Amino acid sequence: MIKCVSCDQTYDDNEIVYICEKCGSVLEVEIENNISKDIFDGRKLGLWKYKEFIPVDYSNVVSLDEGGTPFCRCDKLGKELGIDLYVKVEGSNPTGSFKDRGMSVGVTKAVELGVDTVGCASTGNTSASLAAYAARGGLRSIVLLPAGKVALGKLAQAMFYGSEVLSINGNFDQALESATRLANEKYIYLLNSINPFRLEGQKSIGFEIVDELGWKSPDRIILPIGNAGNISAIWKGITEFYNADYIDEKPIMTGIQAEGAAPIVEAFKNKSYSINPVENPETVATAIRIGNPVSHIKALRAIYDSDGYVDSVTDEEILDAQKLLARVEGIGVEPASASSIAGLKKLVDKGVVDKGERVVAVVTGHILKDPDVAIKASAKPIEIEPDFNQLKAILEKKVS
């Protein structure tokens, strides 16, 4: 059953509906389950390990074996911050971001509904993922991208997997408005995170985290917020496992926005559920260059219900954290993902994160998504002739 988060209006799972027809709020899929968690024993880690909690027909699944991503304990960085740190590396998904979890469920649902064309607006990763899963599911796909603001790796993916790519002279929020109109007029089945089935896939990040910790909740989960779908999804997953008695506690949900695109931070300061959209969002982290996050109500609910926190970080803090994670722990992420780590540092300094906390930082996309930023932030390669003496001279200079 699909349910409105604000007025409790319900819809059948097979109705194509994105916002509540009664009150205009966002929707979510309600899951009821009282199976024992023993059913998961011996199954491989990944989204479909938890198929009893995923409300689509598994016999028609469109999957690229998403999820089951690395869960890296980071002792060096953890020690520096005075916490027990784990990093959930979502860049290791099939197209290099967490969106694959949502897209596997979303495209499976699209096939189930019998639609022939799927589409989305995207800052990049959603389009890359949609393109791949639409190909896998045999559907036509249309993606709307903000012109000049999509990182190169993501653009290459969307084009190469065979989506019809439309470059809009505007920002993401404007592209999403157009995509939503196309969906309302039935040109496309919309697979942005306003589609509640997307979040049903992404909630598996929460499932995996507590499963990997031996059916225990961490003290805190921290992650970037853009359109605000993922924090809502992870909280939904955690809450479902809590309600099923698989875990005894829930984590403090902590979201991080980029300073130039931080309407949820402002709402949080006002203890409000409503946001003032940012007209011209700007940040080096193009993935979260979003001024009017559609799932803000769900995200703020996750934050308030978990005694959580939201803060913003500057572009400089993001780029520093991206480098830190790569150079101290060997984990390469795109700028948006590094905002988790930048935010964590900031909140440790502020005393919001306590010493000794067990924290899971979700890093959402792979470093190769945005090669331009990585190259710009690095020293240039040293050019030399294929001459061994020259080579030795350079190494001796470096080493001494």
In the window 177-196, what residues touch ligand AN7 (CB under 6 A)?
193
364 counts as binding ligand AN7 under rule CB under 6 A: yes
Closer to ligand AN7 at the Cβ: 292 or 364?
A: 364
Pick from 336, 353, 359, 367: which binds ligand AN7 (CB under 6 A)? 336
Contacts of 362 (CB under 8 A, 6+ apart): 87, 88, 90, 98, 205, 221, 222, 223, 224, 230, 234, 340
125 counts as binding ligand AN7 under rule CB under 6 A: yes
**Alpha helices in the chain, H assignment, sequence order:** 75-81, 99-113, 125-137, 152-160, 172-184, 196-202, 204-212, 229-243, 263-269, 296-305, 315-329, 335-350, 371-376, 388-399
**Cα 173 to Cα 170, 177, 192, 341, 370, distances in angstroms:** 8, 6, 12, 26, 21
Pick from 123, 163, 306, 312: which binds ligand AN7 (CB under 6 A)? 123
Provide the mask over 281-310, with x wherever binding to ligand AN7 is found by CB under 6 A and - wherever it is not: ------xx----------------------
Closer to ligand AN7 at the Cβ: 89 or 287?
A: 287
The DSSP bridge pattern shows strands 10-11 and 27-29 to be: unpaired
Work out how close the CB of 339 gets to ligand AN7 at its nearest, in angstroms, rounded to a whole number: 8
Provide the mask over 199-228, with x wherever binding to ligand AN7 is found by CB under 6 A and - wherever it is not: -------------------------xxxxx
Closer to ligand AN7 at the Cβ: 200 or 334?
A: 334
340 counts as binding ligand AN7 under rule CB under 6 A: no
Going by C-alpha positions, the residue among 56, 138, 34, 37 that lies closest to residue 101 is 56
The 10 Å Cβ neighbour count of residue 208 is: 23
Closer to ligand AN7 at the Cβ: 246 or 344?
A: 344
d(CA 53, CA 199): 12
Among 24-32, 77-85, 159-167, 332-340, the segment contacting ligand AN7 (CB under 6 A): 332-340
Pick from 124, 137, 218, 260: which binds ligand AN7 (CB under 6 A)? 124
Pick from 137, 365, 370, 373: which binds ligand AN7 (CB under 6 A)? 365
d(CA 103, CA 191): 8
Geometric angle at alpha carbon 359, from 358 and 365, rounded to 5°:
155
Work out how close the CB of 385 gets to ligand AN7 at its nearest, in angstroms, rounded to a whole number: 40
Which residue has tokens 């008695």?
245
Going by C-alpha positions, the residue among 293, 224, 220 that lies closest to residue 250 is 220
126 counts as binding ligand AN7 under rule CB under 6 A: yes
Phi-psi region of 33 (alpha: psi -120 to 50; beta: other; left: phi over 0): beta
Residues binding ligand AN7: number (CB under 6 A): 21
253 counts as binding ligand AN7 under rule CB under 6 A: no
Which stretches of the chain bind ligand AN7, using CB under 6 A?
97, 122-126, 193, 224-230, 287-288, 334, 336-337, 364-365
